Amino acid sequence: MPTKKRPLSSCPIPKGKLLLIGGHEHKGDAPEEDEHAARNVNFAPEAILRRLAEEIGNRGPLVVVPTASEEPIEAAQDYVRVFERIGGPAVEVLNPKTRTEANNEEFIRVLDSAGGVLFTGGDQLRLTALLGGTLMQRCLHERYSNEEFIIAGTSAGATAMSTPMIYQGRNDAGFLKGEIHITTGLELMHDVAVDTHFVARGRIVRMAQILATNPACVGMGLEEDTAVLVTEGRELEVLGSGLVIILDARSCSSTNIHEIAPNTPFTMRGIDLHLLASGERYTLPIQPRLYA
């Protein structure tokens, strides 16, 4: 019998945007004639952060959340300096150190007046442990869903936006079952796993293990000084000087991840791989979801 074709379900489209950065974005604090810039004729200094400034415009200040960093003051000041130099929005710093602070009404008022938010790098598990289920997370979801509002994250800040979220696993790990650990991220993107420093740290195999456990998930690997601007929940525009790597395992023909013992190499066949450079556009094969 022929399979009945069902129309794709229509989901409300978020009005906000996400900017996911692979880490080490150019901030103008290193010589432009460094090795990377010299070899890349399309290199544009501060391209990603300038785009963030453009997206915010005059809608309000940029709120930097350095909670993931072990040195939050220094991490935040890097962005205060760069946005002042490039003539971007004013920068305010919001650094909740406890879940109580993440439920503080004063913190929510700061987010309500922001034109955008930027999560710095560090440890993504700090972000989810401190912000998950709090008023801060709800405020971010509601503004992203219902307003022209941009949420950016670099390195750990980008990884934390997705669900599932990678939170443990060495750069050279991943080919043995159980080496990679995942949890629920901040849930701004569903059915997408994001990893950063992707080429520089050789993280493609650890991403493949996540997809082997559930091929309905899409893998997005962001190289350093490279970003994707996400509109309508799934439309990607690539920015920066490196590559974005998309792993799509929906057509995977086989995997043994469910049969093998822990600490055993897994197999997987039939993964689609896309390499996207600056200016490329791509539609993620997912249905966006809004925060309930």
- Where would I find the beta strands (DSSP E) of 173-215? 181-183, 189-190, 192-196
Tell me how far apart the alpha carbons of residues 151 and 230 are, in angstroms, rounded to a whole number: 10
Tens digit of pLDDT for each residue in 143-200? 999 999 999 999 999 999 999 999 876 666 788 999 999 999 999 999 999 999 999 9
**38 falls within a domain:** yes
Find out whether 290 and 11 touch, Cβ atoms under 8 Å.
Answer: yes
Taken as a whole, the chain contains a residue count of 292
Can you give the CATH number for the domain in which 141 is found? 3.40.50.880
pLDDT in tens, 113-139: 999 999 999 999 999 999 999 999 999
Query: How many domains is the chain built from?
Result: 1
Domain-embedded: residue 5: no
Measure the CA dihedral 37/205/122/129, to 10°: 150
The pTM assigned to this predicted structure is 0.92
DSSP 3-state of 212: helix
Range of the domain at 111: 17-283
Q: What beta strand segments (E) does the chain contain? A: 17-21, 62-65, 91-93, 116-119, 150-154, 162-163, 165-168, 181-183, 189-190, 192-196, 218-222, 226-231, 235-240, 244-248, 254-255, 268-269, 272-276, 281-283
Give the relative orientation of helices 105-112 and 135-146 as an angle to the nearest 10 degrees: 20
Give the C-alpha separation, 58 to 60, whole Å.
6
Q: How confident is the model at residue 6 (pLDDT cuts 50, 70, 90)?
A: very low
State how far the Cα of 16 lies from the Cα of 143, in Å rounded to an integer: 7
In-domain check, residue 143: yes
**Distance (Å, whole) CA 93 – CA 233:** 26
290 lies in some domain = no
| Residue 28 lies inside a defined structural domain of this protein | yes
The answer to whether residue 292 is domain-embedded is: no
1 within a domain of the structure (yes/no): no
DSSP-derived 3-state class of residue 241? coil
Given a cut of 60, whether residue 34 has pLDDT beyond it is no
Kindly report the number of other CB atoms within 10 A of residue 64's CB atom. 27
Is residue 275 one of the residues assigned to a domain? yes
